[in-house]
Amino acid sequence: MCGIIGIASYKDISKEILESLKKLEYRGYDSAGISTINNGEIVENKCAGKVSDLEKLIKKTSLSGNIGIGHVRWATHGAPNQANAHPHSSEEVSVVHNGIIENSAIIKKELIDKGHIFKSQTDTEVVTHLITENLKKMNYLESVFETLKKLEGSFALGIIFKKFNNLIVGARRGSPLAVGYTDKEKYIGSDSYALNSMTKEVSYLDDGDVCVLTKDKIEFFDKNKKKIEKKIHKLANDEAVYSKGNFKDFMSKEISEQPEVIKKCINEYLDKIRKEINIVNFPVDPKKITKVNLIACGTAYHACAIGKYWFEEFTNIDVSVDVASEFRYRNNKIKTNELYIFVSQSGETADTIAALDFCKKKGAKTCAIINVTESSLSRLADLVLPIHVGPEVGVASTKAFTGQILVLLLFILKIARNRNEIKEEEYLNIIKDLENIHSKVSLILNNKKIIEDLAVDFIDIKGSIFLGRGLSYPVALEGALKFKELTYLHAEGYPAGEMKHGPLALVENGMPVIVIAPKDRFYEKTISNMQEVIARGGKILLISDHADEVATSENIWSEIRIPKIHKFLSPFLSNIPLQLLAYYVALKKGNDIDKPRNLAKSVTVE
Ligand code: F6R
């Protein structure tokens, strides 16, 4: 989390740096700050709150300089207040940091013993003081390398110096850092998105790398201080997709884009004439895969949970699904004839990267399903399958989830066909419905007013439960996650059949229970579970494609009818009303839709 920007220019960079911070705000929005070199001095401006607050502060104090670093923070060590906001500066040096310094307490004690006075509760400030201490005896580059030697943990750093006032040093271990080039300016940024409006040419630091930027050039060094060259990547020209257009917020824009992104993604992967899925270069021969392991965090984990059901339906392969933060620390028996699939929107989630790294080190073959193709995960995986949904800016993942399950499904169908484990007729039926699924998503979106009206009744609830079976169980988990992260109301996703083993005790008169029950082989069972909830006073919102007067009866509070679709494709449709429900309840509560409290889009700390 946290966003870093640094600019070395021939002109005043105050405006550019603020604009970049606005773009980086999706990585953290607890506090923000900027340091520049002005008249030979380090000038630091920072405050608690959003970049708009920093902008107001800067209007009062003024900001200028040709060299500067900026930061948006997602608090790890120390409360989100002005003192803990980055940059952290001494007389000599100013530092912005993304990540965690794990041994900061020990280093801090040593530095205090040497007379250093700390102003914040952050782990980052030890970097500032260590470099300051080292600068007494060495030049700027040596002092950075010497400091890095002492640090444990993960970090990306941006550093400016009072005495070396024409340059910025960047360093990476564990947390991503990109650099950008134009003729007249050079940049560092915690991702290429922050740099996209200023340059289309970027390079990425690898772990241990250090870079030195002046307005004219960038030099790279590896962890042994040896000069190295870096590949330059060209960024796509997709500035327009970063704008909200006529939408109130990015989330409503991204929800509404889903029919289009489904069409685009299918076009990328499907040969419509031969009905073939274009995925090649499998890292493990599909016929020889003995087991598949699906690993991710949050919404991407829910996509994996849906993938497990599909793998089991269409292939004979054993499947496990894991949350990355658990997987990476378990005593996993990694095997080379198993396939490890990692799903991530950002491609920068620390736990997912660490889990992939763990598998790679044990010789396993890895595949990454990702949205941001210029990400760490995509550089590490043996096979990368992009989801092609375009930038997702809203912190709550919507279109990326749809893209993730779509690419997972295509990948699974390809493997199933390769292994001759899916009947041709079934395969063709699914492909046929997939080709048409975007129009059904549009139908649901066109009726969003129904959900907007229902949302009023959720504003004052104590909590809610989301229920489903089979493929609808992970959909229920995802619906509950979206609901809680946006509305700040408690929501629990549960397998419908498990209710009577405990959670039924939560149900009381008027408690909203959202039941996802498409007409698949679980339908009757889910409806029975629903009746058990109704009998205890639960207020049911049913999401189904099936008109069943007898089973549903007048005891249902409300129903959202979704279009009929192949029984294995229901998550593509049943998830949409859940996104809209969370959105409208949050909107009516006046919550920040694109930046829910306490969260960040890219979770680069473990
Ligand atoms: C929830 C959400 C998060 C992410 C999770 C993983 O709406 O967006 O739960 O899914 O932080 O992020 P990625 O997919 O970037 O690895």
- Give the model confidence (pLDDT) of 414-439 as tens digits: 999 999 999 999 999 999 999 999 99
**Are 67 and 216 a contacting pair, CB within 8 Å?**
no
d(CA 165, CA 39): 10
**Are 366 and 340 a contacting pair, CB within 8 Å?**
yes
Give the Å distance between the CA of 343 and the centre of ligand 1: 10
Predicted local distance difference test score (pLDDT) of residue 292: 97
Rounded mean pLDDT, 4-26: 92
DSSP designation for 328: T
Predicted local distance difference test score (pLDDT) of residue 601: 79
d(CA 101, CA 455): 43
Q: Burial letters for 196-206: b for 16+ Cβ neighbours within 10 Å, e otherwise?
A: bebbbebbbbb
Cβ–ligand 1 contact at 345 (below 6 Å): yes
DSSP designation for 88: E
Rounded mean pLDDT, 45-74: 91
Predicted local distance difference test score (pLDDT) of residue 237: 64
C-alpha torsion sign, points 370, 372, 378, 383: positive
Predicted local distance difference test score (pLDDT) of residue 64: 87
DSSP designation for 393: -
Predicted local distance difference test score (pLDDT) of residue 552: 64
Tell me how crowded residue 389 is: count the other CB atoms within 10 A of its CB.
27
Q: Which of 589, 578, 359, 570 is nearest to 478 (CA)?
A: 578
Give the Å distance between the CA of 578 and the centre of ligand 1: 17
Cβ–ligand 1 contact at 300 (below 6 Å): yes
Instruction: Give 174's pLDDT tier (boundaries 50, 70, 90).
Output: confident
- Give the model confidence (pLDDT) of 537-575 as tens digits: 999 999 999 987 666 666 899 999 999 999 999 999 999
Predicted local distance difference test score (pLDDT) of residue 554: 64
Strands 291-296 and 270-271: unpaired
d(CA 306, CA 285): 23
- Give the model confidence (pLDDT) of 258-277 as tens digits: 999 999 999 999 988 889 99
What number of helices (H) and strands (E) belong to the chain?
A: 19, 27
- Give the model confidence (pLDDT) of 178-237 as tens digits: 999 999 999 999 888 788 889 999 999 988 999 999 999 999 999 999 999 999 988 876
Residues with Cβ within 8 Å of 121's Cβ and at least 6 positions away in sequence, in order, are: 77, 78, 79, 83, 84
Predicted local distance difference test score (pLDDT) of residue 240: 59
Structural element, H or E, at residue 41: strand 41-48
Cβ–ligand 1 contact at 485 (below 6 Å): yes
Tell me how crowded residue 597 is: count the other CB atoms within 10 A of its CB.
10
Predicted local distance difference test score (pLDDT) of residue 241: 65
Backbone phi, psi, residue 168, to 5°: -125, 140
d(CA 270, CA 96): 44
CA dihedral 556, 562, 564, 565 (to 10 degrees): -120
Amino acid at 499: M
Residue 428, both tokens: 């063709």
- Give the model confidence (pLDDT) of 439-473 as tens digits: 999 999 999 999 999 999 999 999 999 999 999 99
Residues with Cβ within 8 Å of 550's Cβ and at least 6 positions away in sequence, in order, are: none
d(CA 385, CA 400): 13
Predicted local distance difference test score (pLDDT) of residue 311: 98
Predicted local distance difference test score (pLDDT) of residue 197: 84
Residue to mutate, 27, 299, 351, ligand 1, most ligand atoms under 8 Å from C-beta = 299
Predicted local distance difference test score (pLDDT) of residue 429: 97
Instruction: Give 160's pLDDT tier (boundaries 50, 70, 90).
Output: very high
* In the block, residue with structure tokens 């996104």: 579
d(CA 480, CA 514): 9
Predicted local distance difference test score (pLDDT) of residue 13: 92
Give nearest CA residue, ligand 1 atom 3: 298
Cβ–ligand 1 contact at 349 (below 6 Å): yes
Q: Outline where 67-139 has alpha helix (H).
A: 104-113, 125-135
Distance of CA 30 to the CA centre of its chain: 17
Give nearest CA residue, ligand 1 atom 11: 298
Residue 97, both tokens: 């940091």
Give nearest CA residue, ligand 1 atom 8: 397
* In the block, residue with structure tokens 């699914």: 430
Predicted local distance difference test score (pLDDT) of residue 150: 96
Residues with Cβ within 8 Å of 167's Cβ and at least 6 positions away in sequence, in order, are: 8, 67, 140, 160, 161, 212, 213, 214
What is the distance in angstroms between the CA of the first residue and the CA of the last residue of the chain? 10
Q: What angle do CA 121, 123, 124 make, to 5 degrees?
A: 105
d(CA 464, CA 487): 11
Q: What percent of the chain has pLDDT over 90?
A: 84
Is the overall model pTM greater than 0.75, yes or no?
Answer: yes
Predicted local distance difference test score (pLDDT) of residue 525: 96
Residue to mutate, 254, 345, 389, ligand 1, most ligand atoms under 8 Å from C-beta = 345
Amino acid at 440: K
Give the Å distance between the CA of 298 and the centre of ligand 1: 5
Predicted local distance difference test score (pLDDT) of residue 264: 93
d(CA 107, CA 11): 37
Predicted local distance difference test score (pLDDT) of residue 194: 80
Is 601 tagged catalytic? yes
CA atoms within 13 A on the CB side of 142: 7
Is 2 tagged catalytic? yes
Between 240 and 35, the more confident residue is 35
Give the Å distance between the CA of 344 and the centre of ligand 1: 7
Predicted local distance difference test score (pLDDT) of residue 23: 85
Instruction: Give 518's pLDDT tier (boundaries 50, 70, 90).
Output: very high
Predicted local distance difference test score (pLDDT) of residue 305: 98
Whether the predicted pLDDT of 361 surpasses 70: yes
Burial of 225 (0-12, 13-18, 19+ CB in 10 A): exposed
d(CA 180, CA 204): 9
Rounded mean pLDDT, 289-305: 98
- Give the model confidence (pLDDT) of 70-109 as tens digits: 999 988 888 999 999 999 999 999 999 998 899 999 999 9
Long-range CB pairs of 542-548, under 8 A, 24+ apart, other chains included: 542/515, 542/517, 543/514, 543/515, 543/516, 543/517, 543/518, 543/574, 543/577, 543/578, 544/516, 544/517, 544/518, 544/519, 545/518, 545/519, 545/570, 545/573, 546/517, 546/518, 546/519
Give the Å distance between the CA of 84 and the centre of ligand 1: 26
- Give the model confidence (pLDDT) of 330-349 as tens digits: 998 999 999 999 999 999 99
**Three-state DSSP class for 279?**
coil
Structural element, H or E, at residue 227: strand 227-228
Q: What is the mean pLDDT of the chain?
A: 94
Predicted local distance difference test score (pLDDT) of residue 46: 96
Predicted local distance difference test score (pLDDT) of residue 75: 85
Residue to mutate, 349, 477, 606, ligand 1, most ligand atoms under 8 Å from C-beta = 349
**Are 287 and 419 a contacting pair, CB within 8 Å?**
yes
Cβ–ligand 1 contact at 575 (below 6 Å): no
Q: Of residues 50, 365, 448, 601, which has the active-site annotation?
A: 601
d(CA 102, CA 367): 30
